[in-house]
Every structure is written in structure tokens, then in C-alpha cells.
Amino acid sequence: MIRLSGVTKRFGTKEALTQASFSLRRGETLGLIGHNGAGKTTTLRLMAGILTPSLGEIHRPADFKAAVGYLRDEPFVFDYLTGREMLYFIAALYQLPRPVVRPRIHYFLELFDLERHADRLLKNYSRGMKRKTALIGALLHDPVYWLLDEPTESLDPAAIRTLKDLIRSARAENRAVLVSTHQLAFAESLCDRVVMLHRGAVIYDGALQALRTPSGERAPLEDIYLQMVAE
């Protein structure tokens, strides 16, 4: 489990996150939702250990560094490597055994329809193809904790369906998946729980099924979220 306890992050005089407290548990898919600028990316970078809190604490498992797969909001690739070379480079960083690496890379390249492009330079990839490569890199070492920042951005419908299937499989395998997104329909189709951020503050943390309108009715997540933000 990853747990944030009263976490605040300041950049100069600006508070990007204020007194945030919530947990990411194994066997669940958690949606982190909010407008652009709400603090989602800052929260993921804190959880991944890239940033340190200004106040508060983040509790992580002892093996966290080897067990986390983090997808940045911007694809991280080296333009003058091929897609395949980039994935082998990432595998080497995680010290994955070569007999494991080759079939795993082939599996993911086929899964995301990149095998036929794998030996082209990444500088010639579209943004969506770079996004797929970065996503494969985040999952290549078979992580327990998935921290995915806007994972559907630039992906085609087939790749989004593939990603959904992978996330559902990860949950069934007792992994912990956090999806940061402002695509509320995507979150609603996948997540067990949601954490809503607004201007750096947590305004809701709970099960999707528990969300109701003031009259007690179920409604699309988009409607409820916009109402809560307005209030």
C-alpha cells in the first residue's frame, strides 16, 4: 500500500497540493481526477518519489523502487534510438534477465501494434506511438504498483481498449493501479474508487458507487464531479 498523510507540496509560494491524505491499495484501481492544474501530476510525482513533500509523509513498501511502474504525463523516449532499442535500454536499467526480456518486449510490441515499427527511430514516431512505447517501458518489469499519468492521451481507440484490458488484469492479479485522468468516462469504466482534486485539495475520496446527486440518485461521474467542483 502507498499512503499519503497530510501531504503538502509547495513550489515557491504556490501550493500545488494541500494536506492530501489517501491510500492506494493492492487489488484496486484508483482514479485520480480533476481539471488541468488541479495537482494530479504533482501527486503522482510525489507518490513515485520524484518529488519530496513540503509537509506530511508518504508511506511506501520497502521494495517500492523495483515494484513501481510510472508513466509520465509526457512520453520519455530518446529520439535517436529505435523503439526496440529504447525498450532494451529500459530493461537493462531494471536488470531484467535477457531470456525474459526478448519475449516480453515482443509480446508488448504485438499487443500495441508496434512490432512493425519497432526498428524505426523514435524521432519518426507519432506522439501516440511514443506514448505506447513509454507505456510499455513502464510495464516491462512487471510492476506491482502502476502510476499512470493521463495514460490515454494520444492513444487510438484500439490501444485504449488494450490498456483497459491490461488494467483489469492487473487488478485481478492483486496489483495496485492509479490512473490520473481528466477523461471521466475512462475513469468511470475502470475504477473502484476515485480521489477528486480541486485546486490542490482532495474534495472526495471514496467508491464510485457511493457517489450520488443531492437527491440521492446515481448520475454520470462527469455530472457529479462538476457539481462538487461548483460547490
Q: What is the model's pLDDT at position 217?
A: 63
Spell out the residues 6+ positions from residue 35 whose beta carbon is closer than 8 angstroms to its own. Answer: 182, 198, 229
Helix (H, G, I), strand (E, B) or coil at 168: helix
What stretch of H or E contains 201? strand 201-207
CA atoms of 174 and 180, how far apart (whole Å): 19
Nearest to 110 by CA among 159, 161, 72: 159
Q: What is the model's pLDDT at position 202?
A: 96
Q: What is the model's pLDDT at position 35?
A: 87
Nearest to 56 by CA among 23, 21, 14, 12: 21
Nearest to 219 by CA among 230, 211, 207: 211
pLDDT by residue, tens only, the chain of 231 residues: 999 999 999 999 999 999 999 999 999 999 999 988 899 999 999 999 999 999 999 999 998 999 999 999 988 899 999 999 999 999 999 999 989 999 999 999 999 999 999 999 999 999 999 999 999 999 999 999 999 999 999 999 999 999 999 999 999 999 999 999 988 888 888 999 999 999 999 999 998 777 765 566 667 787 777 877 777
Q: What is the model's pLDDT at position 36?
A: 86
2-80+127-230 domain in CATH 3.40.50.300? Answer: yes
* CA dist list (Å): 38 to 18, 72, 106, 165, 177: 11, 16, 37, 28, 20
Beta bridge partners of 195: 32, 205
pTM of the model: 0.92
* CA dist list (Å): 166 to 9, 105, 162: 31, 15, 6
